[in-house]
Amino acid sequence: MNLKKLLPLLPLIVLLLVGCQQEPVNLDVEKSDLMRTDNEFAHLSAEKGASVAFRAYVSEDAILMPDRGHPIQGRDAIYEWMKGGDEVYSLVWEVLGVDVAKSAEMGWTWGEWRFTGPNQAGETVQAFGNYLFVWKKISGKWKVVADIRNPNPPPEQP
C-alpha cells in the first residue's frame, strides 16, 4: 500500500480517535452528588419511615444484608420486610464517607445507624451499628444495590 495515498486520511483518523474519547468524569462532583443522595435517603427515612425511604432509593434487584439476619433480595421483598414497622420504630443514619469509581457508574457510602423501637416487653430500646451502601447509577440516578450492616455497642457517653 502506498503511504502517500494514506497521508490525506491522517487528519480524519486523528479526528475520529480524539472525537471518540469519553468526556472526563469529575469525581469530586460525583462524590458530592452521591453524598447528597445518601443524606436525602437518610432524611426520608427519618421523616417518612424506613420502608418508604428504601422503596424510593434501592434498585429493583437490591440486596439487604441485615445484622443478625438472612439476606433479603429485591426492592419489593425489602419493602415487605420493613413495612408496617414505620409507626413503631425508626431507622436513622449519618453518612461518614463516600467514594466513587473512576467510571462514576458505581460508588459506596458508609456511616453509622441507629434503630429505635420497642422490645418484646414493649420498652423502647436502641441498637447501633455501621452500614455500607453500594450504589449504582441507573438511568442517571444513584440507587442502592447492596446494603450491608453490622451492629456496634452503644456509643460512649462523654
CB 135 within 8 A of CB 144: yes
CB 131 within 8 A of CB 113: yes
Q: Is the pLDDT of residue 68 over 90?
A: no
The CATH number linked to 113 is 3.10.450.50
Determine, yes or no, domain membership for 9.
no
Span 135-148, pLDDT tens digits: 999 999 999 999 99
CB atoms closer than 10 angstroms to residue 89: 16
Determine, yes or no, domain membership for 77.
yes
pTM comes to: 0.82
Range of the domain at 148: 25-152
Determine, yes or no, domain membership for 5.
no
CB 69 within 8 A of CB 137: no
Give the pLDDT band (50/70/90) at residue 156: confident
Determine, yes or no, domain membership for 51.
yes
Q: Is the pLDDT of residue 10 over 60?
A: no
Structurally, how many domains does the chain consist of?
1
* Dist CA 138 CA 154 (whole Å): 36
* Dist CA 12 CA 27 (whole Å): 32
Determine, yes or no, domain membership for 147.
yes
CB 130 within 8 A of CB 114: no
